Amino acid sequence: MRRRACHRGGREGVPCTCEMGNVYRFCEPIVLLILSRLGTAHGYQIAREAGPLSVTHAGLDSAAIYRTLRRLELTGCLTSSWDTHSGGPARRVYALTALGRQHLAEWVQVMDDIATSIGALLQKGRMSLESGHLPASRMGT
């Protein structure tokens, strides 16, 4: 599921964040990671496991998780089957494919790049706040 490099400055061979799904809340990599760790899981299990992995205060709502599961299955990153043997209603159980594992590796690379960029931005923001200087255009000069 290799994505093309971004025309806005992405490096050749590096997945483009523009094409990596829901970057804001990182729903796709969270779902892939959970399935990589658990082997198989149904949607409710994935939603429960996603809480502690959330990178925003908003968390991941179940609708976003189910949309992501459907999209990942359509692209061949997941397979699903119906579990009718455990008590209660039938549940769709998801499993990661080899392509899904590869896509998780792409996400790890993308998240590493984003973490580096955020770290640099954070450092510059702290330095700016510590200096206490306003830009010359704002100082009325």
Q: Kindly write down the DSSP assignment for every residue of 47-70, as one continuous string.
A: HHHHGGG-SSTT---HHHHHHHHH
Whether residue 136 is predicted with pLDDT greater than 70 in this model: the reply is no
Encode pLDDT of 51-88 as tens digits: 999 887 778 889 999 999 999 999 999 999 999 888 88
Structure tokens belonging to residue 48: 């429960």
Domain residue extents for the chain: 17-126
Tell which CATH architecture fits domain 17-126: Orthogonal Bundle (1.10)
Q: Note the pLDDT of residue 11.
A: 59
Contacts of residue 60, defined as CB under 8 A and 6 or more positions apart, other chains included, come to: 25, 27, 30, 47, 50, 51, 54
Helix axes 43-50, 62-74, angle to 10 degrees: 120
